[in-house]
Amino acid sequence: MFFGAVSHLKRAIAERRFVPGSSSHTYGYVGEGDRAVYCVNKRVVGKECESKELAYKEYSLGKFLYGNGIYVPKMKRVVGIWTGFDFAPIKEWFLLMERVHGKHIENLTGEEREEALRQVKSGVEKILDLGIYPEDFDWGMNLIFDGKRVCFIDFEKWGYGCQEELAHLCKKIRNEGLVIRV
């Protein structure tokens, strides 16, 4: 079932088919610390992960959030692919997930932006209620608006938070409002 997706991912890597709008697509390369997101096909992307552990962490967290009604890409599978040269192979880890089409929240204006920000605030409050600390949710590149709903993407840095962290962020959002960094 997933063999086809893996072979498509390998071809996307070879062809450098980056997801439009991702930093790897915008700058045409993947710099130090950056991870590429590849177009596997019309419905699936392959996100390069820093390690096997982080790939499985994001996969598990994505399944948990999705199962609890948070709009995140539907997780498909974690795969390891041998890359590099024959004399120095490297196993790289990728997270296969649903491709979400839309605009990054930083590119929205007017009523569309106001609606998206309202949804982000509501979504973050639900995420906090689940005990998850969404460390970098407020980067505009990590939020996609599909015309109806906001999708949270790129949550590998998120994790279970302690009560103090969760309460602090919740209070900050409720009192100061939501600020999206671009």
- Which pLDDT value is given to residue 94? 92
CA distance 107 to 40: 24
What does the H/E/C string look like for 124-176? HHHHHHCCEECCCCCEHHHEEECCCCEEECCCCCCEECCHHHHHHHHHHHHHH
Q: What is the pLDDT of residue 27?
A: 38
Domain topology for 103-176: Transferase(Phosphotransferase); domain 1 (1.10.510)
What is the DSSP track for 7-18?
HHHHHHHHHT-B
Spans in the chain with pLDDT lower than 70 = 1-3, 21-35, 84-89, 139-140, 177-182
Token pair 């552990």: residue:
53
Residue range 3-98, CATH number: 3.30.200
CA 76 – CA 97 distance, rounded (Å): 5
Domain ranges of the chain: 3-98, 103-176
pTM > 0.75 = yes
Q: CA 143 to CA 141: how far, in whole Å?
A: 6
Quickly count: other Cβ atoms within 10 Å of residue 20's Cβ: 10
Q: Cβ–Cβ contacts within 10 Å for residue 166, how many?
A: 19
Count CB-CB contacts under 10 A for residue 21. Answer: 15
Residue 1 pLDDT: 46
